Each structure stands twice: as C-alpha cells, then as structure tokens.
Structure 1
Amino acid sequence: MTKEDVSEALKGDAVQGWNSSYQRPVIHQVASAPMPSDCQFSFFDPSEPQCREVLLDPGTTIPELFAVLRQWVPQVQKNIHHIGSEILKRGCGVNDRDGLTDMSLLHYCCKAGAPGIGDADTAASFARQLLALSADPNLRSRWTNMRALHYAAYFDVPQLIQVVLQASQPGDVDATCSDFEFGTALHIAASNLCLSAAKCLLELGANPAFRVTGSLSPAISSYDQQHFELWAH
C-alpha cells in the first residue's frame, strides 16, 4: 500500500511578485471575506462593480482573498483564475496554504471545476499556470490529507485529473488518502458516483484492483461489481 507523505508547510514571510518557486511556503492567517458595506449579496461576486473594486484593491489581503475562495457559489468558483491571480500578485507563494483549510491554490483549482458550480476548463487552465510556477501536485491538506488529485476525483473533474497527473509521477495515480480509509483517487471517485472522474482515472492507469483494508476491490462498497465494470468500459 502506498505510504503517505504528509508535508508540513513552513511559516514565514511571503515575498512580492509571481516568481514564487524559491520562497518558503506560508500558512496564511484566517480572515473573513471582504464584502462591500452596502453589498446586496451575502457572497462575493467579482462581476459586481463594488466587489470587483475590492478584488482589485491592493489593500485587500491574501487571507481575505482565500476567504473569498472558500465561498461555494458559482460567482466565486467560476472566477478562480481572477481571484487566484490577485492572490499571487500580492506575493502569495504558489504552495502557500489557506490557514483555515490548509489548502493551496492548486487544491482550490481542483474544487473549482466541480460540475454545476464551477468551470472545469477555466480551472484547468489556471492549474496549468500554477504548475508552471512550480506548484506541488503532491501537497496534502493537513485537515483532509488529500492531494490535488483526490480533490479532483472527489469533485468529479476529469480535466483537473489530467492536468495534475501530467505533472506527477506515474505511480501517483494510486496515491492513497487516509481520510478515505487509505483508498486511492479511484476509490474516492467511485464512492461518490463520480463517473467521469472514475473513467478518466482508469484511462490514465489507475489500478481497479487496488485493495484497501477490509475491502476486496476499490472502495465501491455501496455499489456492486457490475456497476464498476460498466464504468471501466
């Protein structure tokens, strides 16, 4: 079974600019999302002029923008590239973490492609930019122990699975996650009925016979083998 390497991010001072491959990762403090005082919405909407002004304001901090990314609404998730770019412009390292979720920008990208709430192509495009800036696809959130690949599988985003695995080692497709009984991304996709993600993982070499403790097959305990075989073809 794959051993999990849980890397601890180091606290430190971020440097300015986009070239973040040489700085130590930072865990940013927790803040609330910066909402305009007279905003009529309960969520941040970058297309709304007042929110847009806040987004582009250099005084809006990295922790505040991470708080915006935590809002699970289409207005935010479909704008991952705009919000993420503003975070990087403020000196955030590409492998820095949100202090509340311990997620990096690449983790957030893999969520932002979720069907019905985000835009997979936009999220995949921004993920490629992050990887070009030396984002680490193997980083795990300390709270969920999930890699970017696990988030992409959980939220059924095959476009992000492809992008992440292109930047990974061949065996990483079967990396395990302790929060899912040490199952792989394929287990996570199957157990959440993420058909597109499961098919993509199988096409990219995921092992359908990978066993977890007490299981005979990938973690599809609530589905029978016939369903899984249909997914595999």
Structure 2
Amino acid sequence: MTKEDVSEPVEGDVVLGCRSRLSSHHRPVIHQVASAPMPSDCEFSFFDPSEPKCREVLLDPRTTIPELFAILRQWVPQVQKNICVIGNEILKRGCGVNDRDGLTDMSLLHYCCKAGAPGIGDAETAASFARQLLALGADPNLRSRWTNMRALHYAAYFDVPQLIQVVLQASQPGEVDATCSDFDFGTALHIAASNLCISAVKCLLELGANPAFRVSDYTVSSNIFDYSLSTM
C-alpha cells in the first residue's frame, strides 16, 4: 500500500447557496456553511428532533440543506441518534448522496460513521442508514479534504465496528489497509489502536487488516498498539 495523495479540489465541484434545489443525479457539490436553525423561543442550545418545535423546523421544506448539515454537526445524542431522520430530510431536499458539508467537507456517509459512536449515537441506526446511502451510490472511498479521512477511518476513530463492516462490504479488497495522511499515513487499524478502540481493532483484524503494517513516520506509540492487541 503506497501513501495516498492528499485530496485536491475536484474539477467541476460547485458551491451551492442555501436555497438551491437539485436532482439526485447531479455532480457532487459542496454546500455553503450555515448555522443550525433553532425555534425562536427554544430554551436549550442544541437541536432535539423529538421536541415538537424542533421537529417542525426539521420537517419544514424551507429549512435548507446547509442548515440541516449544521444540525448534524451538533455532537449530542439527540442529533446523532436521529442520523437517519435528519439525513433523509437532507436527501429529500435534493442533496446528492456524495455532496459535502462546506464546513467539514464531510459527506452523509462520513457523518453516518460518526453517528454510531458509543455513548453518543446508535450504531444499528447508523449502520442501517449507511446501507441506504451505499445503495444510493455513496462512495466509501470519498475523503474529507480537511482530514483526508475516508468513511472507514471515521468508523475506526469513533469505535463503530458495525459501520466498519458495512463500509468494507462496499469496498474493494485491500481497502481495509487504506492509509490516512492526517494520521501520519497510518491505517484504520492504527487509528483505532491509538484511540484504544478495542471493538474497532477486533473488527478490523477479523476483516483482514494487516497488524504488521508499519509506517516509519507514524508517531503514535507502538506500546498503545500492542496494548490494544493484547487485550483481545
């Protein structure tokens, strides 16, 4: 496996304004940055889809794709456990399955791989939505330009083995050892081990990750990696 090229802007990418409407078959675009919409008399600082007034905002067709991406950026259980509901509202408004959030450069699949994080999201819900996205043509190899992470790397970082399995099922053989320049060209296994994500480490090894993969510039202590393997 060679070091991957850091992602460069794709020729033809378009930045869309807040009121744009597109078909599901357009060239992938980057959506402009917006703030999360909140009811005017809301008493809390985060978006809660189960709260009636927030639900009304979520289902309002005037709520834009960039605003919905802003909701997904909120790292609270109320949002992350509703990845399927919020994600489908984004798709309903014409967002392409490989479109990206202008602030994070993340696709819906990237967000999905975060949304299964233990203690924050729901892994089974996130995995179900990931399968839906992949069936619609989501690219499992798409990288965020800011972190250069693929969906697999996000799933490993956030310790979500269910998402690791779903993503790798849609990937080519050998992609389990795809490297990430933002982690000194370590693989998903390096990322999981360095964060002591034991469930992700086990899953990656079972799915063929190479435990002997070495990167000379990798800065995470090998003792951490050894510890993760020894606890299985």
Q: Aligned match of 2:36 in 18, 33, 38?
A: 33
Distance in 2 of aligned mates of 1:171 and 1:35: 44
* Structure 1 segment 41-190 matched on structure 2, within 5 A: 41-190=44-193
Quick check: 2:176–2:204 contact (8 Å CA) kept in 1? yes
Structure 1 position 214, deviation (Å): 4.2
Structure 1 position 115, deviation (Å): 0.1
Structure 1 position 219, deviation (Å): 5.0
Which secondary structure does the structure 2 equivalent of 1:223 belong to? helix
| Identity percentage of aligned residues | 81
Q: Where do 5+ consecutive residues of structure 2 fail to align?
A: none
TM-score by length of 2: 0.92
Structure 1 position 4, deviation (Å): 1.7
Structure 1 position 8, deviation (Å): 3.1
Matched, 1:223 2:197: no
Which secondary structure does the structure 2 equivalent of 1:170 belong to? coil
Which secondary structure does the structure 2 equivalent of 1:32 belong to? coil
Q: Where do 5+ consecutive residues of structure 1 fail to align?
A: none
Which secondary structure does the structure 2 equivalent of 1:143 belong to? coil
Change (3 A) 1:224 1:25: closer
The one-letter code sitting in structure 1 at the alignment partner of 2:2 is T
Structure 1 position 145, deviation (Å): 0.4
Q: Aligned match of 1:192 in 195, 208, 212?
A: 195
Structure 1 position 229, deviation (Å): 3.7
Quick check: 2:115–2:126 contact (8 Å CA) kept in 1? yes
Change (3 A) 1:206 1:58: same
Q: Which residue of 2 aligns with 1:23?
A: 26
Distance in 2 of aligned mates of 1:147 and 1:94: 15
Distance in 2 of aligned mates of 1:167 and 1:11: 27
Quick check: 1:7–1:140 contact (8 Å CA) kept in 2? no
Question: What is the root-mean-square deviation of aligned Cα atoms in Å?
Answer: 1.7
Change (3 A) 1:224 1:108: closer
Structure 1 position 223, deviation (Å): 2.1
Distance in 2 of aligned mates of 1:128 and 1:180: 27
Distance in 1 of aligned mates of 2:114 and 2:50: 20
Distance in 2 of aligned mates of 1:119 and 1:228: 24
The one-letter code sitting in structure 2 at the alignment partner of 1:189 is A
TM-score by length of 1: 0.92
Change (3 A) 1:47 1:223: same
Distance in 2 of aligned mates of 1:73 and 1:210: 35
Structure 1 position 2, deviation (Å): 2.7
Q: Which residue of 2 aligns with 1:2?
A: 2
The one-letter code sitting in structure 1 at the alignment partner of 2:201 is A
Structure 1 position 221, deviation (Å): 2.7
Quick check: 1:16–1:89 contact (8 Å CA) kept in 2? no
Which secondary structure does the structure 1 equivalent of 2:224 belong to? coil
